[in-house]
Structure formats: structure tokens, C-alpha cells
Chain A
Amino acid sequence: MYITQETVRHIAKLSALELSDEEVKKAQQQIGEIINYMDILSKVDTTDVEPTLHIHNAINAFSEDIILEALPVEKIKAMAPEFQDGYFKVPKFINN
């Protein structure tokens, strides 16, 4: 195996994804196989090669500093799973 179950669980935590034990095993096998394939990249020497961050090397697209219409609260509320008094509602996460 190219990656451990522990690594899969760590990555799942970083990804905010709950995985069952079965899924961890499957991910270990499948992602391991893919990562192993990615090592094909070590075939090429990239010592003096710059990474590509933007394909057309366009820089700084400026726009006028003008106030545009914001989304109406009603529309935001309609999309939200839970919404109250103008706020998204989630389970309490700060304890006294």
C-alpha cells in the first residue's frame, strides 16, 4: 500500500469528510494506486522550470470601485438550510 489508513483519515479530516471504515479502506487502495501512478512525474527534471499559475500570464484585472446591487436577504434565506433573524443558523459551537 502506498498510503496508510492513518493518512487517509488525516486527509479526510482536512477535507471535512466523514468516511466509514469501509470507505477508508477503499480510499487507501484507490488513492494509493493513483498516487503511485503520479510518480511518473519524477521521470522529468523540473529543476529550473517555473510553475504555471495562470495560463495567459494575465495580471491584476482591475474593476471600478462601484457599489453593485447585493443579493436580497429573502433570496439568501430561501437557499439556506436554516436561517433566523438575518443569519444562517448552525448548532451552537462556543461553550460558556
Chain B
Amino acid sequence: MNDLTTLSILEMRQGLVASEFSATELTHAHLDKIKETNPKYNSFLRVTEELALTQAKAADEKIAKDKNNTPLLTGIPVAIKDQLVINGIESTCASKILKGFIPPYTCTAVEKLIQAGAVILGKTNQDEFAMGSSGENSAFGITRNPINTDYVPGGSSSGSAVAVAAGQAPLSLGTDTGGSIRQPASFTGIVGIKPTYGRVSRNGAVAFASSLDQIGLFARNVKDIAIGLKYIAGHDPRDSTSMDIEVPDYLKNIDTAFPKIKNLRIGIPKEYFTSGINPEVEQVLRNKIQQLKSLGINLVEISLQHTEISIAAYYIIACAEAASNLARFDGVRYGWRSKSANNIQEVFEKSRAEGFGDEVKRRILLGNYVLSAGYYDAYYKKGLKARTLIIKDFQEAFKDCDIIVTPVAPTTAFKFGDKSMSPLEMYLSDAFTVPCSLAGLPGISIPCGKDSKGLPIGMQLIGKAFSEVLLLSTAHHFYKN
């Protein structure tokens, strides 16, 4: 039998309905791949083999009974970022403070995948509480980039990206607050989408920065992303910020939506090609953009003039929200409690000191600093106002174009330790992904070439809010060509 772990979801589907292989065989192929490669990559924190095989068996029964009436994802293996809770399965957010924590409910997006017949392979490694851009901040060891294991896979959804890039799963869920899906997708040479804020319920995604967090997907091609998004999108009463807007059939529209728009206008923001971008990344991207002209698109130079202040605004807002959200980890109701606490204050302070890693502590401190008396107006309120300016930039830009194309990151993957000594330098590596997050817009990262070291370079496409149909269709046509 061919290697089942290299197939696309549509090929897996064809094989399953044509009885070329069973969901159980497909699951075994992926479990074997994980067993073989996980010691090298450390992309999975735990593998849910028993659950996966039970779900695969159920999928086989459904396909045998009425194959044409089963959802597309029936029997398709998926990997889940540890940030997303699953009832009865340890979920840690790659933090010591949640080691051994067994959640009593399941994240809505995961629940929807399970309802659609997907097979849950396990929970993937990440930067602790989704805070990081390299995968180095996990309490349970770094994740390695399968393209070259000396390099970081990006973060924070490091394990979910690597799982897909290394053939451990064809589809995975991640979370993206400031680039945590798009950047690792770019670093590992795969496709990753952060949907519009409010497109996917955040219920069951452990909160980092609530006004920015969004669950999204990794896959090896755009069609597989389109399949996955249809199942996880939609309103959920358990997340009041999830919008009650119809979920279109993204796959059905993928071949047609882009060609339907005559003279599609692609906006190229000049601010993304000025300082800070690696020359090789810039060259590959510019060449690719020129090639796209053959698809009959118009290139429009646009300006997102507040790009320069995005990182500052983002880290103020994200850290302020994180400081509030992570106040719940207090050693009282669940999670780690310090063994050396003698009074209630020490239960809080020591449990948090022992449970959280350095980056998480740094962001809590930074968040409480910008929220504290005397600094609130200068930093937090100023950050919220800067966010308004960044949103307006996009609104203006979208008067002149339909889709915005940018690099995903200023560089390709870097080596372990290269940036972990300077938190500020690590933050600056998010320069091209955070503006889209602050504006709540959908962004997708697709591979568009490699640098001289053979490391993948990603292209980011940003659409208007809830324009995922056009965004996916455009990304599909760009990726194909």
C-alpha cells in the first residue's frame, strides 16, 4: 500500500469510500508515523491512540453502512493543539501549572470535528499558553522543524504545524492570537489559516488574549483547509463573540470564487517591504507576486501607515488581556498548587511562580504594568486607540483592493536560541502578522518558495472580515500556480 500519510484529505476520502483502505488502517498509518517521528520532533505531547482507534472503527462502520451520507471528515485523522480542551484528556497548554489537568468539557471546534467523524490523534506541543513565536517556550521540551531540525518550527502552534508538515496528520487545529498559525505554517512550508475574529467559537480554547484569539487550521493544501473550516466555523451560544453569520461551503466555492471576480485587485502594502525584511524573503515574494500577474490580477500599491506601531499596540493589548485571563490560575480550584505555601497569599504567589514559565510571567508582569495606576492611559488606552488607527488603515486600503498580500514573517525559520535571549527581538518577528490580528481580519499563509538554505518562505493573504470564500479561493489559485 502507498504511504497513506502523504495523501490530501480529498484523496483519503476517495480511498475510504472506494474501500481501498479503512479508517482504521489510515489511523494506524498516522499513529505509526507519530511513533516513528515524534522522538525527533516532539510535536505531540500525548497521543490518544485508544480514542483514535475507537473513533476510526466507528467511522468504518458509518462508511460501510451509508458511505455517501457521511461527512467529508469521516475517518480523517486530526491533531489538536494542547490549548484546546477535550473532555477526559489531559490538556496542559504546555504549562507546568496545568500538568495533569483533565478538563470536564470539550472545546466547541473539536466537538464539531468529532461530530463530523474526524479521528483525534492527540494533543500537540506549543509555546506555553500560546505565548511565543518559536516553539521554544513549552514546559515539555522544544518542537523541531521537520524541514531542518536545527531550526525552530515557529510558534506558538508549533506542534500542530509540525504534525501536518511531517505527515503525522493531514489536518490540525491551532490558535492564532498574533500569528501563531500563520508564522509556523510559513516556517514549516504548509498552509495555515486564521479565520476572521468571530468566525469560529473560542469556547474551550484556553484564553490568552480574548479580543484577538481565534482557532484556525493547518493543512498541506488550501482545499483541505476549506474542508476543515466549514466544520469548525459558525455561531456558538457558549462564545458570545462568535458571530451568527451563515457558514458557506468553502470547498464548493474554491474553484469558482476567484475567477469570478474580473480584475481582482491585490494590494501590496509598501510598509511591509521596507525595513526589517530579509532580502531573500523579499526577492522570492516579489518574484511570486509578479508571476501572479499572469492570473489576470491587478497589483495596487497600498499604504498601511500605522504598521510601525502594530507590535507595540499588540503586545500592550495582548499582555493586558493575558494578565487578566491568567489570573484564574491560582492554585485553588484546579492546576498546580505549591507544596511549600504556608498561607493563602503564598498559595497564589508560589503556585504561580512554580507553575508558569519565564515568558508567561513576563507577559503577566507587562500586562499588569500597562494596566496599573499611572500607566493605564499612557499604555493600555493608547494601545486601544492605536488599534483603531490600524483598523482604519485596513478599511481605507480595502477601498482600493480586494485582497492584501504580504510576507508572513521578516525572515525564514531561525535557529534555536537565536532570539530566545531577547524577548523584544522575538516580539518584533511578529511584525507582519499582528496588524491583521488587531483588525480581526482573516489571514492565510501559503508556501511561495525557499531561501538559499532550503527553508520555506510564506506568503500571507489578508481579506476583509468574513471574506473567507474569496480568500481561500484566491489562496488556492495562487498556491496551484
Contacts and interface: CB of A to CB of B under 8 A. Distances in A.
Nearest to B386: A41
Nearest to A53: B384
B288 to A, nearest CB: 30
Contacts of B198: 55-56, 58
B104 interface: yes
B330 to A, nearest CB: 7
A14 B102 CA distance: 29
A46 B241 contact: no
Nearest to A56: B198
Of the four ranges (under 10, 10 to 19, 20 to 34, 35 or more), the interface on chain A belongs to 35 or more
A17 B361 contact: yes
Interface stretch (B38-46, B129-137, B364-372): B364-372
Contact of A12 (B333, B342, B365, B381): B365
A79 interface: yes
A15 B311 CA distance: 23
A56 B389 contact: no
Contacts of B369: 3, 7, 11, 31, 35
Nearest to B427: A34
A67 interface: no
Nearest to B240: A61
A17 B352 contact: yes
Contacts of A78: 102
A16 B352 contact: yes
Interface string A12-49: 10111111000100010011011101101111101001
A18 B350 CA distance: 6
Given A15-B365, A18-B353, A52-B391, A91 B197 contact: no
Given A38-B379, A49-B388, A82 B337 contact: yes
A12 to B, nearest CB: 7
B440 interface: yes
Contacts of A86: none
A12 B348 CA distance: 12
B309 A44 contact: yes
B312 A40 contact: yes
